[in-house]
Structure 1
Amino acid sequence: MPSAIEDYGLIGDCETAALVGRDGSIDWLCWPAFDSDACFAALLGTPRNGRWLIAPAEEVTNRSRRYWDNTLILETRFETANGTVALIDFMPPRGHASDVVRLVRGVSGRVKLQMELVFRFGFGVDVPWVKRTEDGALLAICGQDMTVLRTPVELRGENLTTVANFEVGEGETIPFVLTYGPSHLRVPKPINPAYALQATEDFWTDWSSHCTYEGEYRDLVMRSLITLKALTYAPTGGIVAAPTTSLPEKLGGQRNWDYRFCWLRDATFTLLALMNSGYTEEASCWHNWLLRAVAGSPADMQIMYGIMGQRRLLEWEAGWLQGYEGAQPVRVGNAAHAQLQLDVYGELIDAFHQSRVAELRLDEGSWALECTVLDHLEEVWNHPDHGIWERRGDGKHYVSSKVMTWVGFDRGIRSAETFGFDAPLDRWRTLRETIHRDVCENGFDPRLNTFVESYGSQLLDASILLLPAVGFLPASDPRVRGTIEAIEKYMMRDGFVLRHDPREISDEKQPIEGAFLACSLWLADAHVLAGDIAKAEALFDRVVAVANDLGLLAEEFDSGVGRQTGNFPQALTHIALINTAHNISAARKPVEQPAMQRSQA
């Protein structure tokens, strides 16, 4: 059985990432990119589906782990009766090839260790051809994929597994370097592990030094920013929602999705998190990825794209994998990419507007694209859609979707007014008012004194917490206050916010999922805007308290069993943490320049 989701640490090279368990096993790695097939898939199956274990061969009496300061270098310490060893895991910034480096360093005494390496390409099903190279390295080839393992330790094969037994004493360091390359090219050249460690430390230390956030919770914000950088596909600037697929939203359930793609839904929150923290270059790269991804007809705009802007993210099931703790199916690809979600149009226009406000350099064709998008939105804003949570089945008139269409026209108007662009302002102003009136008349239930999930429904939805954040109504509006109160009354469990109303009978007959951590932070943001800083801080503290010992957070938290659930680590959760920290810090120090918020012009 794989480790608990929160027991994993993240390493990566800004093109892909691996999950390392407390036990010293790398149970997940897609190579050469985030959306490639996994070569280690034990996370969703068994060790026979691929993993790389390095751990003491004797009883471990204590273990601990940490990231080296402001880096993505993970150190796990194992204490035994005979001594202590440190396992240092990292992926150097991408050179000609991608490497996973594991250094076993003796801290005290002398410890016996074991290594077990199971190569399985194609999401854990394809057994490679393994042989020695002339220089003694171990080469594994299967189809398009090739890996080469270099280490001074003597290796042997047992039952389609590469194993080794070795010892390390105080002051000694034994390296293991696993390198990926396309199988039709030459074997990648070796790297110097010690130089690679220094280069990796220098890269992350320099990157972290550009953080401008100096408020409370700085360590948490810094770790979230590093995580966000690690989830960025450097060649294009696209940011994946998570490096994993099919980690269940409910343990044992069927809501298991592939998150190794880039969602437009997260666009503005991502830009604000980066820009407010001093990372304008990353914000520009993300903006440019957005521009390229959505280029073409607005009618063809999708809710998500691949890391290079790919549009066909066909969904299929890896039936040979048993799923995380038996949660099936294991899905690859995401069929929701073809859904109509109206919120993405507003999200895009808002992202472009915030980029201009922050004085990012935009492509000169950006405004023409926005006008074309708004022309299309004028035709479709009143259509039913599938909502921010990608409900499968018939569409509805979701309140949050309609609000985001309002945001689209509002930000278009603001950009035209502020930056002097040519635009049909009278028509856009009329549409903005029409949508606002439509939402207030059909999306607000005066008997319940709350906005609801969709027109005609009496159920709630956590996404309606964003109404004050996007500027649709001020937090002081009685309807917004009533909505916050209703969310607190009906949609909280053990102090956390659910994204779906628990009074709803799921059409998928699923048990209630865990609390959606970003939604809990959205409620904190609503409290900040309403002036209730104490409530916001209490919610923020509750969320960060469930982060693992490395500061990493998944999509959800199941308070019933005290475990993180969903894909991990989750970009949206860390983005929300960064933004809420900024909002609380700015609210506590109003004399200083406040953080840029979505509703600002």
Structure 2
Amino acid sequence: MQLVIVPSVTFMSATDFRRGKLPTNLVRAMTDPASRYPAIADYAMISDCHCAALVSKEGSVDWCCMPRFDSDSCFGRLLDWDKGGYCAIYPQDDGIETTRRYVSDTMILETDFRASGGEARLQDFFAMDADAEEQLHHEHVRLLKGISGSLEFRIEISPRFDFGEIVPHVRDHGDGVYSAIGSNVGLVIHCDKRLDVMRDSGLAATFRLDADERVRLSIRFVPPEQIDERPSVLSASGFAADKAFAHTCAWWRKWVSRIAHPSGPDAQTLRSAIVLKSLSFERTGAIIAAPTTSLPESPGKERNWDYRFSWVRDSVFTVRALYELGCEREADRFLKFVQRSSAGSAAEMQIMYAVDGKRRLTEVELGWLEGYRGSRPVRIGNFASEQTQLDIFGEIMEMAWEWHAKGREIDAPYWNFLSDVVNMVAVKWQEPDHGIWEFRDEPRHFVHSKAMCWSALDRGIRLAQEKQLPAPTERWAEARNAIRDAIERDGYDRQRGVFVQAFGDGYLDAALLLLPRTGFVAYDDPRMVRTTDAICHALDRGGLLDRYDSPDGLPGREGAFVPCTFWLVRCLAYQGRQERAWEYYWRALGCANELGLFSEEFDKESGQMLGNFPQALTHVSQITARLALEKAKAV
């Protein structure tokens, strides 16, 4: 099952280029450097559940971090077109049109190039071992096949390490084997075509591809010391790339076969599930928010953040959605990842971790990079890792409740950790925090955060009672009741009859749509129905929702937040307002590109994706919205 929507892209012809006849978009690029950057929607992701790359419609790899999602980029012109580096395979014939798709039930990308002279297909994927969960080698394979006729192609490989700051040393080892070394990064490159080593430490070749002819290119991460000391890593791969395609298909389809759905998931839900798996770090069980950093929420401004880390909240959303689809292994492994990373103590828990569990995610600005379409600064690391966000305790207890509901045992060490979390909440719930949106100004008493504290206590009490586990349930119940009283007193606008963003203010927040998820208030409670309607009225922008209507202290206006629209769909569906729910659902679904990939935000006016891409939270929210629509319809 796959999404197949294939709009065309037309390249400038080689003849026009030679004659000096430039297309409009290239003329614009010469006066406006920002226009050199493809739209975010023009990219597709490939992954091996350790590292990822973004491939443009034109066949260019403009973002790739190996051997981990959060490694320094080895191809990164997504963030600086001149300095970042890339790996491109593109046709040079006249009038080229392209279409693309994922191979059914996989993360293998196919791009078809067509012209009057012929047709060719480019397949991009990270090679997977069909018999192994964890992939020990990280190899991006690019297979170019002639379908009919004859086309002229160009290969250009320009590796740049450490986010474009290091120009590596490139060597030709003979027999189609090349290497690039710099800093702590090494790449071994194999190609069927002879590549010329360029003065700028790049590799290039121009050739004609005939029908049934194949060209194989692979780029494998190898520690640089191994390239120097172990000649075996430089051996030519020959036809191994063809075998890798079959093995990778088998790996992805084996994983997809685990998805349990009464009638089979629809195409978009299946694609979202595959994306979520692609954003999981297999070695530890961590799940990242997105594979990119600093794609702007407000073009040309400073709302640029690094999302290549594992947020506890977003990851819990993800594992709950995968639980609903029958993918329990990912949920179990993330639970263990959180326990390990927090040293089994609530006091040591933070809101996000690196994919290996590292805690220190110091935010650094990379001043030498232009930024995507001039959006600066480019950041790596994330200062929000140091924030207090009380809702994560509720998410941890929600995940424990799901674990219990699946019939899993809560052993003594796990209960010690959970009871520590609930004890922490009983004390800290009265403190202000930075909330789900990670505001970078003064902390506030956010209603969503308080409700998640209520949920943590409620789940803790119910677990202790049902499993007869030792716990100070009376003290927990007192704190739980105090939180409800505080929210209903200070977080509820009695004049309007709606919940508000934070104690003592009248702002609205789409995070309030999550309140019924924990049982704090029923979906059809009149207060929740009025809050839903008020959010629609205040935050709707062209059929999509903004996150909030409060000031946040940052310049520029961000786009509509796509996950929030899916949260609204869930509320409307469970409130019995099916027609309206479906209307919002289809609008939100229209924010995906033709491959079914979502970014975090969307600018309705320009039709452009905004924010890091693809965004796990959006794909999670799409899944839960669709499941809610199906469940509500069945009632």
- TM > 0.5 fold call: yes
Write the distance in 2 (CA, Å) between the matches of 1:462 and 1:287.
27
1:52-75 CA deviation, whole Å, 9 max, x = no partner? Answer: 000102234321000000101100
In the TM superposition, 1:166-205 aligns within 5 A as 166-185=207-226, 186=230, 188=233, 189-191=235-237, 192-205=240-253
Shift of 1:27: 0.3
- Contact in 1 for aligned 2:176/2:194 (Cα 8 Å): no
Matching residue of 1:304: 352
Write the distance in 2 (CA, Å) between the matches of 1:103 and 1:353.
46
Aligned letter for 1:513?
E
Show structure 2 runs of 5+ residues with no match.
1-35, 130-134
Query: Please, which of 91, 103, 106 is the counterpart of residue 126 of structure 2?
Result: 91
Matching residue of 1:399: 447
C-alpha change, 1:484 and 1:215, in structure 2 (3 Å) is farther
- Secondary structure at the residue paired with 2:162? helix
Write the distance in 2 (CA, Å) between the matches of 1:561 and 1:214.
38
Shift of 1:485: 1.1
Query: Please, which of 32, 36, 56 is the counterpart of residue 91 of structure 2?
Result: 56
Write the distance in 1 (CA, Å) between the matches of 2:345 and 2:83.
45
- Contact in 1 for aligned 2:288/2:315 (Cα 8 Å): no
Query: Please, which of 583, 588, 594 is the counterpart of residue 543 of structure 1?
Result: 588
Shift of 1:275: 0.9
1:149-178 CA deviation, whole Å, 9 max, x = no partner? Answer: 111201113341211111211111110011
Write the distance in 2 (CA, Å) between the matches of 1:267 and 1:178.
30
- Contact in 1 for aligned 2:439/2:552 (Cα 8 Å): no
Shift of 1:359: 2.8
Show structure 1 runs of 5+ residues with no match.
591-601
- Contact in 2 for aligned 1:56/1:112 (Cα 8 Å): yes
Query: Please, which of 57, 75, 78 is the counterpart of residue 22 of structure 1?
Result: 57
Aligned letter for 2:537?
K
Structure 1 window deviating more from structure 2 (95-104 vs 108-117): it is 95-104
- Secondary structure at the residue paired with 2:78? helix
Aligned letter for 1:57?
Q
Structure-1-length-normalised TM-score: 0.95
Matching residue of 2:608: 563
In the TM superposition, 1:13-412 aligns within 5 A as 13-93=48-128, 95-133=135-173, 135-160=175-200, 161-185=202-226, 186=230, 188=233, 189-191=235-237, 192-214=240-262, 218-360=266-408, 364-412=412-460
- Contact in 2 for aligned 1:280/1:360 (Cα 8 Å): no
- Contact in 1 for aligned 2:597/2:614 (Cα 8 Å): yes
Write the distance in 2 (CA, Å) between the matches of 1:53 and 1:362.
51
Shift of 1:296: 4.4
- Secondary structure at the residue paired with 1:538? helix
- Secondary structure at the residue paired with 2:217? strand
- Contact in 2 for aligned 1:47/1:118 (Cα 8 Å): no
Shift of 1:314: 0.5
**Is 1:428 the counterpart of 2:476 in the alignment?**
yes
1:389-445 CA deviation, whole Å, 9 max, x = no partner? Answer: 000121110111111100100111121122222221211112111101111100001
What is the aligned residue count? 587
- Secondary structure at the residue paired with 2:516? coil
- Contact in 1 for aligned 2:83/2:369 (Cα 8 Å): no
Aligned letter for 1:64?
T
- Contact in 2 for aligned 1:253/1:328 (Cα 8 Å): yes
Matching residue of 1:507: 553
Shift of 1:20: 0.2
Write the distance in 2 (CA, Å) between the matches of 1:506 and 1:279.
37
**Is 1:445 the counterpart of 2:485 in the alignment?**
no
Write the distance in 1 (CA, Å) between the matches of 2:412 and 2:573.
36
- Secondary structure at the residue paired with 1:310? coil
Write the distance in 2 (CA, Å) between the matches of 1:32 and 1:89.
17
Shift of 1:341: 0.7
Structure 1 window deviating more from structure 2 (305-314 vs 42-51): it is 42-51
1:79-110 CA deviation, whole Å, 9 max, x = no partner? Answer: 12211110100001264421000011001101
Shift of 1:363: 5.6
In the TM superposition, 1:574-593 aligns within 5 A as 574-590=619-635
Aligned letter for 1:151?
C
Write the distance in 1 (CA, Å) between the matches of 2:319 and 2:71.
26
C-alpha change, 1:461 and 1:63, in structure 2 (3 Å) is same
- Contact in 1 for aligned 2:261/2:325 (Cα 8 Å): yes
Aligned letter for 1:583?
A
Aligned letter for 1:67?
Y
1:213-268 CA deviation, whole Å, 9 max, x = no partner? Answer: 24586111110010001100000110000000000111222110000000111243
- Secondary structure at the residue paired with 2:222? strand
- Contact in 1 for aligned 2:175/2:236 (Cα 8 Å): no
1:443-469 CA deviation, whole Å, 9 max, x = no partner? Answer: 001122211111111111111111112
Aligned letter for 1:239?
I
Shift of 1:273: 0.8
- Secondary structure at the residue paired with 2:598? coil
C-alpha change, 1:459 and 1:215, in structure 2 (3 Å) is farther
Q: Percent identity?
A: 39
- Contact in 1 for aligned 2:390/2:435 (Cα 8 Å): yes
**Is 1:530 the counterpart of 2:575 in the alignment?**
yes
Aligned letter for 1:511?
G
Write the distance in 2 (CA, Å) between the matches of 1:452 and 1:190.
63
- Contact in 2 for aligned 1:216/1:581 (Cα 8 Å): no
Write the distance in 1 (CA, Å) between the matches of 2:402 and 2:307.
25
